[in-house]
Amino acid sequence: MTLFRLDASIRTEGSASREIADVVEAEWLAAHPGDAIERRHIGVDVLPSDAWPNAVAGSYVPADARTPAQRDAVALAAGLVDELLAADAILLAVPLYNFGVSQHIKTWIDLVVTDPRASAGSTPLLAGKPVVLCTVRGGAYGAGTPREGWDHSTAYLRRILGDVWGADLTVIEREFTLVGVNPALDAFEDLAAEMHQGALAAAREAGKVLALGDAA
Ligand SMILES: Cc1cc2nc3c(=O)[nH]c(=O)nc-3n(C[C@H](O)[C@H](O)[C@H](O)COP(=O)(O)O)c2cc1C
């Protein structure tokens, strides 16, 4: 069995999204000791930002007419899709940045979509595949909060992973990760701690279910 893990935080130390994904991964490994985990950290080992336009342009011309840059981009996209298809389970750790997804995760999604295996009309790329998305936000955007609706990342990721790619998707969310970092949020210490513990508990549960080959 293979788990594919994608991290999109722009840091490795102190990352809240990595912490949650680590818990999911540990549960998966406990059930599959020694099995493979394939990793890609797009927040640190970034995908080239010109790969997407080159992959799009390359998809409009026959393979033998592609420029070297187009060939590289098409091959990169194919490799990203290979990683997804080869996995029995998928784990994604994706923070909210500037009220949306980072350029890194958008480039990854855009590149995957250029591959013929991900195109509309085909069987959805991740049809029925268990996928856990761990997503974190520095602030809080729930119903009734001043910035309700300002998180333009989570719904988009659900749309792509669940609706477009057909994944059997579980989403674990943690808010207020900047409590304790940004003094303006000090009043939310207890709530943030509760959210933190809730996310870790959800991660343990999701990891156990993922290990069975099904999303929660
Ligand atoms: C450049 C930057 C932009 C951010 N933008 C937002 C934002 O728009 N809304 C928010 O709630 N948090 C925002 N954050 C906070 C992150 O979502 C938060 O620190 C999160 O924990 C980062 O993920 P990580 O802990 O896995 O690195 C931002 C952080 C950075 C570094």
Per residue in 106-151, pLDDT (tens digit) is 999 999 999 999 987 779 999 999 999 999 999 999 999 999 999 9
Write the CA distances from 20 to 11, 92, 117, 195, 196, integer angstroms.
14, 10, 30, 12, 9
Query: pLDDT class for 213, splitting at 50, 70, 90?
Result: confident
- Residue 38 in this model has a pLDDT that exceeds 80: yes
Distance from the CA of 175 to the center of ligand 1, in angstroms? 10
Region 198-210 average pLDDT: 97
Q: What is the pTM of this model?
A: 0.96
Q: Which domain holds residue 97?
A: 2-211
Atom of ligand 1 nearest to the CA of 175: 11
Q: Which residues line ligand 1 (CB under 6 A)?
A: 9, 11, 15-18, 95-99, 136-139, 177-178
Query: pLDDT class for 215, splitting at 50, 70, 90?
Result: low
Where is average pLDDT lowest: 16-20, 120-124, 184-188?
Answer: 120-124
Would residue 216 count as lying in a domain?
no
Would residue 146 count as lying in a domain?
yes
Distance from the CA of 112 to the center of ligand 1, in angstroms? 24
The reported pLDDT for the residue numbered 119 is 82
Would residue 19 count as lying in a domain?
yes
The reported pLDDT for the residue numbered 76 is 98
- Residue 197 in this model has a pLDDT that exceeds 80: yes
Per residue in 70-110, pLDDT (tens digit) is 999 999 999 999 999 999 999 999 999 999 999 999 999 99
| 19, 31 contact by CB (below 8 A) | no
Give the integer Cα–Cα distance in Å for 78 and 122: 15
Domain count, the chain: 1
The reported pLDDT for the residue numbered 75 is 98
- Residue 193 in this model has a pLDDT that exceeds 90: yes
Per residue in 3-13, pLDDT (tens digit) is 999 999 999 99
Would residue 57 count as lying in a domain?
yes
The secondary structure of the chain, three-state, reads CEEEEEECCCCCCCCHHHHHHHHHHHHHHHHCCCCEEEEEECCCCCCCCCHHHHHHHHHCCCHHHCCHHHHHHHHHHHHHHHHHHHCCEEEEEEECECCECCHHHHHHHHHHHHCHHHCCCCCCCCCCCEEEEEEECCCCCCCCCCCCCCCCCHHHHHHHHHHHCCCEEEEEEECCCCCCCCHHHHHHHHHHHHHHHHHHHHHHHHHHHHHCCCCC
Would residue 105 count as lying in a domain?
yes
Q: What is the mean pLDDT of the chain?
A: 96
What are the backbone angles phi and psi of residue 196, rounded to the nearest 5°?
-60, -50
Region 23-39 average pLDDT: 95
Provide the CATH number for the domain around residue 66.
3.40.50.360
